[in-house]
Structure 1
């Protein structure tokens, strides 16, 4: 379990993290989201002892990171996949880490196989690795000690679609076995697919947190459904008569109603549906709504970035 308690980190007059508190539970994947410069990486660096807090604290399993005996056996981290000696091979990097943790050399072979780095790739020097290969090596390094907690900053960076799907299954399986996962990523769709809990941060402050279902339900407000039928005009008329807002969208309609209500209206009107889906806000909409004042770009319908603030 990771516990962040009133964490604050300042650099002179600039506050990178401002009185942040949250917890990551075992058996759950927690998505940690926010614009560039929002405070995600600073918070993760404090977690693993790379940055000292100004106030507050972070504990993992009840201990500060520097008080954990042989921390690599308990906490796996990936903050920067390129932060290794570029003249060493992937196998050498893992071998040194294994010896430091007191692990058998067979563990290195297991991790290389797990992340899909073959013998030829594992004996290349890091400087000759692609970004995706560095990410796979970084994930292998994080999992090497069979830790109970994973702290990962942008682990999908550089992975191809097959690699992203593989990582998704890996982390989900890890959490299902009781592990604690804190995952920071700009790939919002991936976070929405894998995360059980979500924490959104902007300007160093938590702007929303909770389980995925509750957060997205709050963003959706009134139910919205996207529907296409063989007779959109008749369906739209039936829905309007039922008191539901209807507007054209693409080849179909956007309706202020639940999918069940739309289905019942179609049945009553004798209209055949060809597509029916929930049209409520997703994670991207929630993210943009809650962090619009920290964004560099103006997002139509969401808001423009503030001026004169601290650069992200």
Structure 2
């Protein structure tokens, strides 16, 4: 189990992570979602002692990471696949990890086979690896000690569709055997397919958390209208707030309430439906203030 309590990190006047709290449970995959610069990587670095928190705490299995003896046997970590020693071969990287953890050399071959790196690839220097190969090597390294907890920052970067599917099955199987997985990603569709719990972060603060079903169940109503501004005002006059999302608006009210107000004011509705656009629409809405671009359904900015 990973327990994050009131975690905070500041760099001068800039607050990278602001008082976040959540729990990643055994036997479940927790998706940690947010735009670039939202605070995901900083949070994960604090979890494993690479960055010192200004306030709050993180415990893994009830212990501070720095207090865990031989931590690689308990916590598998992949924060940056490009940070591996470029001059070593893939096999040498894993052999060093095995030796450091006191594991037999045979574990190296097991991990290479697990992540589908061939003998010839294992003999190549990491500087000659593609990003996808480095990700596979990083995952092998994280799993080397057969840990009970995995902390992975954007592990799907550089993987092709087959590789992403492979990783999804690997991590889901790991969780099904009782492991704890904390996975950050911007690949929302993939996270929706694998995650049991979601934690969404924007500008260093958690904006939503729960199961995908819970988050989408409360996503409200989506509508578009020819007289959009007039409808938004009419809804507000009836105590119903609407927020822009994609090329329309979303409200917590039921569709029938929106339709009734539109009819009363003779407003032409173009679209009215439950806001079931999926995790991506919900994510973009909840983190709208942190996005560099504003997207419409047609992909225009």
Question: TM class, shorter-chain normalised?
Answer: 0.7 to 0.9
Contact 2:111 2:140 in 1 (8 A): yes
Q: 2:126, 2:82 → 1: CA distance? A: 8
Instruction: Mark the CA change 1:100 to 1:243 in structure 2 (over 3 Å): closer, same or farther.
Output: closer
Q: 1:215, 1:72 → 2: CA distance? A: 34
2:69 alignment partner, SS class: coil
Matched, 1:211 2:211: yes
Task: Give, in angstroms, the shift of residue 244 of structure 1.
Answer: 11
Task: Give, in angstroms, the shift of residue 300 of structure 1.
Answer: 3.5
Matched, 1:8 2:4: no
1:35 alignment partner, SS class: coil
Aligned to 1:116: 116
Contact 1:81 1:134 in 2 (8 A): yes
Matched, 1:285 2:292: no
Task: Give, in angstroms, the shift of residue 202 of structure 1.
Answer: 0.5
Task: Give, in angstroms, the shift of residue 256 of structure 1.
Answer: 4.0
1:6 alignment partner, SS class: strand
Task: Give, in angstroms, the shift of residue 89 of structure 1.
Answer: 0.2
Aligned to 2:241: none
Structure 1, unaligned runs of 5 or more = 225-241, 246-252, 258-278, 306-312
2:213 alignment partner, SS class: helix
TM (normalized to structure 2)?
0.81
Q: 1:287, 1:129 → 2: CA distance? A: 33
Task: Give, in angstroms, the shift of residue 281 of structure 1.
Answer: 2.3
Q: What does 1:1-312 align with in structure 2 at a 5 Å threshold?
A: 1-219=1-219, 221-222=220-221, 256=273, 280-300=276-296
Structure 2, unaligned runs of 5 or more = 224-255, 260-269
Q: 1:255, 1:60 → 2: CA distance? A: 45
Contact 2:7 2:19 in 1 (8 A): yes
Contact 1:244 1:256 in 2 (8 A): no
Q: How many residues align?
A: 256
Instruction: Mark the CA change 1:91 to 1:281 in structure 2 (over 3 Å): closer, same or farther.
Output: same
1:280 alignment partner, SS class: coil
The superposition leaves residues 236-281 of structure 1 with CA deviations (integer Å, 9 ceiling, x where unpaired) of xxxxxx9997xxxxxxx97747xxxxxxxxxxxxxxxxxxxxx712
Aligned to 2:245: none
Q: 1:48, 1:244 → 2: CA distance? A: 48
Contact 2:221 2:272 in 1 (8 A): no
The superposition leaves residues 78-115 of structure 1 with CA deviations (integer Å, 9 ceiling, x where unpaired) of 10001111100000000000000000011100000000
Task: Give, in angstroms, the shift of residue 299 of structure 1.
Answer: 2.6
4+ aligned runs moved over 6 Å, structure 1: 242-245
2:287 alignment partner, SS class: helix
Contact 1:172 1:194 in 2 (8 A): yes
- RMSD of Structure 2 on Structure 1 (CA): 2.1
Q: 1:79, 1:222 → 2: CA distance? A: 38
1:72 alignment partner, SS class: helix
The superposition leaves residues 114-161 of structure 1 with CA deviations (integer Å, 9 ceiling, x where unpaired) of 000000000000000011100000000000000000000010100011
